[in-house]
Structure formats: C-alpha cells, structure tokens
C-alpha cells in the first residue's frame, strides 16, 4: 500500500532499532515496494544502485549504514577495534556516490560521535536518528523561508522543477518539493511542471508520483520542452534541489539543471536552489572542483530497457552538472534565503 493509501507521509528511510526499511525508488511508480537493509554492505549497495537516492536521503542512509556497521563488530571489541571497523565501513559508503556532499557530511558526523562520545550502538543510533529527524525539520523550514522568496503574482504560482528533490530524496517533505508543498499549503500554488529528467527519469517517475500521491497538480514535460514553456510565460519560477554548493554559490545538481538555469535567466524568470546547509561545501572555492559522478552509459543507451540507438554508438553519462552562481536568484536553506555571494558570511540575505 502506498503512503497516501494508509494516510501517512512519504518516508523513504525508516529505522526500527535493528534495521532500515527503504522505499525501493527503482520500482516506482509502477510498484510501491520496500527493501530491508540489515548490513552496512547492503546499505552501500542500496545507495550505489539508487534504491535510495537524493543528496539528503543518501546522507541519512549512510548514517544508518554506520550504525549497522557498528552492530557487525563482536560484543568483546574495544573502542579501538570498533573505530577501525567504522573507518572501513565509512570508506565503503564513501565510494558509493561522489557528488552529494551530504553523504560525506553524515559519515563524518557519525565518526566524530564514535570518536568523541564512544563507539557504542546507542550513541551512533541516536546521532543517525538526529540526522533523520533534523532533515525533516530542515525541509519544513526551507519551505517556510521560500514563501518570502517566491515572486508575488496576480495568479497562483506555476513552478518548474528538475529531477526529484522531494520527500523521496530527503528524510521526508523535500527541499524543492518542500517549497512546492509549502506554497500549496499556503494556497499559493497552481501547478508544478516537472521535467522528466533523462536518463533516469526522476522527474517523470518520482516527482510526478509524489505530487499525485498528495493531489498537487503536476504536468510532466520532456526535458526539451522547458524553453518553450518559459518563452510562453507558463512558468513563474524555477525551484531545484542541490547535491553540492561551493562557497561562491556554484551549485551541482542533476544533469540538465544548468540548461534550465540559462533558459530561466534568458526569460527573466527567477531560479531558486533549495537545500539544507549540509549541502553547502565551504571547502570548495567554486563549482569547477565539485566531483561529478559518471554513471553506466547504458542508462543513456536505453529507455526503460529498450535500446534507442544504433549499435556502435558511444555514450557519455555525467549524472550532474554545475550551475554558475551568477544564474541563481537565491539559495533557500533552513536558516533563510541567501544571495549566492552571501553564503560565505553565513548570514542570510533574508529570512
Ligand atoms: O542521482 P540522484 O537521483 O540522486 O540525483 C538527485 C538530485 O540531483 C537532486 O536534485 C538533489 O540530490 C537534491 S535532493 C533534495
């Protein structure tokens, strides 16, 4: 049964004290199924294969991967042995996906707790649960702050988004879709336009599913159609999530985001990034040094298992691109809305 059918909210990662239950995002929208993850290796595999995906969600998942890792150590292991095993687990989780900094942030947080408070199951479980619950609160705060950033229009808002930065991509509620949900709850939203987001179709498969689950009007566009809709005055603002934001505001997000940002600027439409502070990487001066994941070329070669190109063709499959800060109207975080140039100060431009 889907979350709406049982009257609850979408929660992609649940912890029952012993193992995690993940919504299998590779099966949506055709089948709503869950997967039980009982070992750190299973968690690394679930992140790598995108059963769980989206920057904040893979951070939360990795945190529980560390908890599961600790449970794999024998009962007689001392602090040093626990820490050594946790370092190994951390390495394997870090190798799953390179771009979203939330993954590294969450792993480092759990290692810090193990080093400073002691590598006990209770300490690590409490830290992972705090990340999970904190993420939901963060998403709600992002939604609240977005209400002052979104343009005032004579009609209700028509928002364009790319990929899935929703409840599925976080612990719940979503970042870009948190903005959508807040606008909807405030009676300010008319409709969401969701880019289908080739090659993995997160917009068509996941964003559309989430919004339909909650009765929010959604229109799916092939990625090639965004320019046409912007030119026709069909969109009031663009809102996307982020996988890593450099200190100057350059933002890595799902491949295709950069093109949408250029189109929005050309048509004078505001372009917002919605993300938690755990996505901001102040150690990187600008976006040129953000590591960009390259995935299996087969994802471009075939759509839903059907090969769409002649044999002998080569493929290129970068999973993310970097939108320059100059194209970003505002970065909406849990502490307020930042002009990209103000990120380094830590003081929001408005809140
Ligand atoms: O490859 P994915 O599906 O993990 O990519 C997800 C995105 O690019 C999201 O927009 C981003 O992680 C923000 S999720 C709140």
Contacts of 17 (CB under 8 A, 6+ apart): 125
Q: Give the separation between CA 351 and CA 349, rounded to whole angstroms.
A: 7
Write the residue with the smallest CA distance to atom 5 of ligand 1.
Answer: 54
For 13-136, which CATH class? mainly alpha
User: For the chain, which residues make up each domain, given as ranges?
Assistant: 13-136, 143-342
Question: CA 219 to CA 195: how far, in whole Å?
Answer: 9
Cβ of residue 138 lying under 6 Å from some atom of ligand 1: no
pLDDT in the model for residue 347: 84
pLDDT of residue 88: 98
User: Strand, helix or coil at 110?
Assistant: helix
State yes or no: is 243 an active-site residue: yes
Which phi and psi angles does 81 have, rounded to 5°?
A: -65, -40
CATH code of the region 143-342: 3.40.50.10470
Can you give the pLDDT at residue 310? 96
Which residue among the candidates 195, 223, 243, 250 is catalytic per the annotation?
243
Strand order in the sheet with 251-254: 280-281, 244-246, 251-254, 320-323
Structure tokens at 283: 């150690």
The secondary structure of 179-244, three-state, reads HHHHHHHCCCEEEEEEECCCCCCHHHHHHHHHHHHCCCCEEEECHHHHHHHHHCCCCCEEEECCCE
- Ligand 1 in contact with 40 (CB < 6 A)? no
* SS3 per-residue string spanning 241-264: CCCEEECCCCEEEECCHHHHHHHH
Q: Are 43 and 15 in contact (CB under 8 A)?
A: no
| pTM summary value | 0.97
Taking a C-beta distance cutoff of 8 angstroms, is the pair 258, 247 a contact?
Answer: no
DSSP state at residue 137: H
Q: Do domains 13-136 and 143-342 have the same CATH topology?
A: no
Average pLDDT along the chain, 351 residues, taken 10 residues at a time: 80 98 98 98 98 98 98 92 98 98 98 97 98 98 98 98 98 98 98 98 98 97 98 98 98 98 98 97 98 97 92 97 98 97 89 74
* Ligand 1 proximity of 281 Cβ (cutoff 6 Å): no
């Amino acid at each position: 049964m889907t979350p709406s059918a049982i009257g609850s909210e979408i929660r992609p990662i649940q912890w029952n004290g012993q193992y995690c239950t993940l919504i299998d995002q590779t099966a949506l929208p055709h089948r709503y199924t869950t997967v039980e993850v009982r070992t750190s290796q299973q968690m690394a595999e679930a992140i790598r294969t995108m059963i769980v995906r989206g920057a904040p969600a893979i951070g939360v998942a990795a945190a529980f991967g560390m908890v599961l890792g600790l449970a794999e150590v024998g009962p007689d292991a001392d602090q040093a042995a626990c820490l050594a095993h946790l370092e190994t687990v951390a390495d394997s989780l870090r190798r799953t996906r390179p771009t979203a900094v939330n993954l590294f942030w969450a792993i480092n947080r759990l290692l810090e707790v193990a080093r400073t408070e002691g590598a006990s199951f209770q300490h690590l479980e409490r830290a992972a649960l705090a990340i999970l619950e904190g993420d939901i609160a963060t998403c709600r705060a992002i939604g609240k702050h977005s209400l002052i950033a979104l343009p005032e229009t004579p009609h209700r808002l028509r928002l364009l988004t790319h990929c899935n930065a929703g409840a599925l991509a976080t612990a719940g509620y979503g970042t870009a879709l948190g903005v959508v949900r807040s606008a909807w709850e405030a009676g300010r939203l008319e409709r969401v336009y969701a880019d289908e987001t080739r090659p993995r179709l997160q917009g068509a498969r996941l964003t559309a599913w989430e919004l339909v689950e909650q009765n929010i009007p959604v229109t799916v566009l092939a990625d090639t159609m965004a320019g046409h809709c912007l030119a026709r005055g069909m969109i009031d603002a663009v809102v996307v999530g982020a996988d890593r934001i450099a200190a100057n505001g350059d933002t890595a997000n799902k491949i295709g985001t950069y093109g949408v940002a250029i189109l929005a600027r050309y048509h004078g439409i505001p372009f917002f990034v919605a993300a938690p502070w755990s996505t901001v990487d102040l150690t990187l001066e600008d976006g040129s040094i953000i590591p960009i994941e390259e995935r299996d070329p087969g994802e471009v070669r075939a759509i839903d298992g059907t090969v769409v190109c002649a044999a002998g063709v080569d493929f290129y499959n970068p999973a993310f691109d970097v939108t320059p800060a100059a194209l970003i109207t505002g970065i909406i975080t849990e502490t307020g809305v930042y002009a990209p140039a103000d990120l380094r100060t830590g003081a929001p431009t408005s809140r």
